[in-house]
Chain A
């Protein structure tokens, strides 16, 4: 079964799992990767039946495996996995305007944020949905639905490392007294959006690896990068690949 992973940097752990032999080469899957950086991606269009990187320059230059994957037609693959959709919070390492431009009263915004617009939860949900739909990754998913007849699977964006719980420089911690409450609300709302989108568009949503963290909607620190707490380690990638195999075989 030929599977294309069209992804953003969250596809890296999958590749590393393969290279590190954390996932068997004889799994029955023939995997190809076409990946562009940037959490809101992947930044692809579709042209002449092939993936076309929207911006080759600068930060969006693609990473591929095998080398000729860009020349392959998407119809050559039995399934395409979009990895990973639903970026909403960059933790302590990456700024997220979705988080910083407004505050939600229920979670105790810090008094210093008096000038930041306070909005209701339903308003925040509409903003989040609008933001996600405008992400290049979701736009690519729509294109894929129109131009590809094989199976489409979506990997949900991994949860942040639970190291955030202790980090004073986590943006959400700096904004809210009840940082964990907002984090849960943010991630729960995003997950609902993903589930609804996939259900209504008949796209398959891959399950998240079942991992026990110190609080809901986090990933355990041991399986996440210490550098940013946002990117998982190859062990996580292996679990995602396992999920893909279970879904398509």
Chain B
């Protein structure tokens, strides 16, 4: 089957559509490539003008449409939206590390944390404002589902992006617990998210969702089985959830990035040498499929991508593995520092 037939979109994205992106680390590729193809990708927490592009990722900028870092689970996304709209209590949990303070729900975003607890809260307040505006004004939300495994606060079920104590913070089994979300968890969370978005629109246009599933396998698991099994469980659940939602709702589409990378018939290297990061060739094919199906002129797209590659080639990290590593992924930090292993 030609690559062009991998996907037949439900709706064409117009150049005037405002696109928001969020999700696990693979979603960073999507946002960059869409921007490179001249789609209007929103960024409501843009980098400061004077920060060089090579340092955007270090400070959590230009990764997604708001500065939330990776959002691995639907629940994490739902809870963020609920907090932004005042439908859930504001998160006040701050972790201290070496005399600095970090937002427990964005622990890796600011490399050195903040000088005071109040500063963390001020940053979060602004962040929530940006998230709120995204749900109110975006036409399409591209969301990449990454994981089912999560760590949550015992007291209220608030999901952390990373296990407390791995990158920063301190694990306390009376306050933190593991939860491997089921199909029904993820599905129902998404229905709540969709409902919330519909209730808070600034106009009568319904927010549409473009779902993908991250092809990046788990690095480690807390599910008590081998990481291979854990990966297949997680991706299977997420793929089924995305499929069910896309089948049921006209405003939800599913783009098969996961299948394009993981299928056994591909003649291209899907992963880099760490067998985890998606190779640039794989990302190219994914986005080529996406853009072609959206009717983007191939010649112009290539020029756009070439321009983009020039931008990134000027960064010191040039070889494939390192270029892939410019996609900010907490999983990689977990691999290096996390206590868990399968």
Which residues of A are in contact with B by a Cβ distance under 8 Å? 97-98, 101-102, 104-106, 109, 117-123, 126-127, 130-131
Query: How far, in Å, is A183 (CB) from chain B's closest CB?
Result: 15
Whether B110 and A118, one on each chain, are in contact in the complex, defined by CB atoms closer than 8 angstroms, is: no
Task: Report which of B48, B115, B126 forms a contact with A121, defined as CB distance below 8 A.
Answer: B115
Nearest to A119 among chain B residues (CB) is: B48
A131 touches B48 (CB 8 A): no
- Sort A-B residue pairs by CB-CB distance and give the 9 closest, nearest first: A105-B119, A122-B112, A106-B115, A105-B122, A120-B110, A123-B59, A106-B119, A127-B50, A102-B48
Neighbour of A130 across the interface among B52, B111, B126, CB < 8 A: B52
A-B contact pairs, 7 of them (CB 8 A): A101-B50, A104-B119, A105-B116, A117-B48, A121-B115, A126-B55, A130-B52
Which residues of A have CB within 8 Å of B110?
A: 120, 122-123
Contacts of A104 in B (CB 8 A): 119
Given contact pairs A105-B114, A106-B115, A126-B59, A120 touches B123 in the complex (Cβ within 8 A): yes
Contact present for A131 and B123 (CB under 8 Å): no
Is A120 in contact with B52, judged by CB distance below 8 angstroms?
no
Task: Count chain B residues whose beta carbon lies closer than 8 angstroms to a beta carbon of A.
Answer: 22
User: Which residue of chain B is the closest to A130 with respect to CB atoms?
Assistant: B52
Instruction: List 7 additional A-B contacts (Cβ < 8 Å) besides A105-B123, A122-B111.
Output: A101-B49, A102-B48, A105-B114, A105-B118, A117-B46, A119-B51, A130-B52
A interface majority secondary structure: helix
Complex: how many Å from CA A101 to CA B126? Answer: 16
Minimum C-beta distance from B21 to chain A (A): 20
The reply to whether B59 and A118 form a contact with Cβ atoms under 8 Å apart is no
Chain B residues contacting A130 (CB-CB under 8 Å) are 50-52, 55
Q: Are B51 and A121 interface neighbours, CB within 8 A?
A: no
B108 to chain A minimum Cβ distance, whole angstroms, is 12
Chain B nearest CB: distance from A232 CB in Å? 28
Tell me the smallest distance from the CB of A114 to a CB of chain B, in Å. Answer: 8
Other-chain contact of A126, B51, B119, B123 (Cβ < 8 Å) = B51
- Residue of chain B at shortest CB distance from A120: B110
A-contact bits for B260-295, CB 8 A (1 contact / 0 none):
000000000000000000000000000000000000
A150-B119 Cα distance, complex, nearest whole Å: 47
Nearest chain-A residue to B119 (Cβ)?
A105
Nearest opposing residue in chain A for B113, CB measure: A120
Instruction: Report B-chain residues with C-beta under 8 Å of the C-beta of A127.
Output: 48, 50-51
Which of A101, A106, A109 is in CB contact (< 8 Å) with B48?
A101
Q: Are A131's CB and B112's CB within 8 A?
A: no
State A131–B51 Cα separation when bound (angstroms): 9
Residues of B within 8 Å of A126, CB to CB, are 51-52, 55, 58-59
Contact flags B193-207 to A (C-beta < 8 A → 1, else 0): 000000000000000
- Nearest CB of chain B from residue A33's CB, rounded to whole Å: 32
Q: Flag if A123 contacts B48 (CB, 8 Å).
A: yes
Chain A residue numbers with a CB within 8 Å of B50 are 97-98, 101-102, 127, 130-131
**Hey, which chain B residues are within 8 Å of A120, CB to CB?**
59, 110, 112-114, 123
Q: Which residues of A contact B46 (CB under 8 A)?
A: 117
Residue of B nearest to A131 (CB): B50
Smallest CB separation, B251 vs chain A (Å): 32
Shortest C-beta distance, B284 to chain A (Å), equals 31
Give Cα A101 to B49, complex, Å.
8
CB-CB nearest in chain A for B118:
A105
**A26 CA to B48 CA, complexed, in Å:** 51
| Most chain B CB inside 10 Å of its own CB: which residue of A119, A123, A130 | A123
Q: How far is the CB of B100 from chain A (nearest CB, A)?
A: 9
Give Cα distance in the complex from A104 to B116, angstroms: 11
B residues in contact with A109, CB < 8 Å: 122
Distance (whole angstroms) from the CB of B96 to the closest CB of chain A: 15
Between B50, B59, B113, the greatest number of chain A beta carbons within 10 A of the residue's beta carbon is seen for: B50
Q: Are A122 and B123 in contact (CB under 8 A)?
A: no
Task: A75 to B55: give the CA distance in the assembly, Å.
Answer: 38
By a CB distance below 8 angstroms, the chain A residues around B115 are 106, 121
Quote the shortest CB–CB distance from B168 to chain A (angstroms): 14
Q: Which of B122-151 contact A (CB under 8 A)?
A: 122-123, 126
- Min CB–CB distance B271 → chain A (angstroms): 32
